[in-house]
């Protein structure tokens, strides 16, 4: 069964998707993973069913959640690289650590 965003959620998604995607992609340099993160955050908004009270409040919530997604992704990447199981040849340990420090 496909679930749909309420109209307000869809409008927020259309408005903030480009900047959200750019934010994530600038940190992890992986467009596919960035897209997954953006979708996960907007799905969380839809599933929680809470309406943002104001635009600044929503933007703060959105970028905090996106940042948390990125940090989790980078930590997972670093652990897999340290264990000798890199899942994406685009990253090396040095780049991952630099990305974590930049946050």
d(CA 57, CA 88): 35
Would you state the pLDDT for residue 20? 97
3-class secondary structure per residue, 82-102: HCCCCCCCCCCHHHHHHHHHH
Residue 5 has pLDDT above 70, yes or no: no
Residues in the chain: 103
27-85 residue pLDDT tens: 999 999 999 999 999 998 888 876 667 788 889 999 999 999 999 999 999 998 888 77
Residue 14 confidence class, pLDDT cut points 50, 70, 90 = very high
CB 42 within 8 A of CB 66: no
Would you state the pLDDT for residue 82? 87
Would you state the pLDDT for residue 7? 59
Residue 103 confidence class, pLDDT cut points 50, 70, 90 = very low
Would you state the pLDDT for residue 11? 86
Q: What is the reported pTM?
A: 0.69
Structural domain boundaries in the chain: 20-47+69-76+94-103
Q: Which residues contact 3 (CB under 8 A, 6 or more apart)?
A: 46
Residue 21 confidence class, pLDDT cut points 50, 70, 90 = very high
């Amino acid at each position: 069964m496909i679930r749909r965003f309420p109209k307000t959620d869809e409008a927020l998604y259309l408005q903030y998707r480009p900047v959200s995607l750019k934010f994530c992609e600038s940190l992890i340099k992986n467009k596919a993973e960035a897209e997954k993160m953006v979708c996960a955050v907007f799905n969380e908004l839809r599933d929680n069913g809470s309406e943002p009270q104001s635009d600044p409040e929503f933007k703060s919530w959105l970028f905090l959640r996106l940042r948390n997604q990125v940090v989790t992704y980078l930590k997972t990447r670093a652990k897999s690289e340290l264990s000798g199981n890199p899942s994406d040849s685009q990253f090396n340990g040095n780049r991952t650590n630099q990305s974590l420090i930049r946050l």
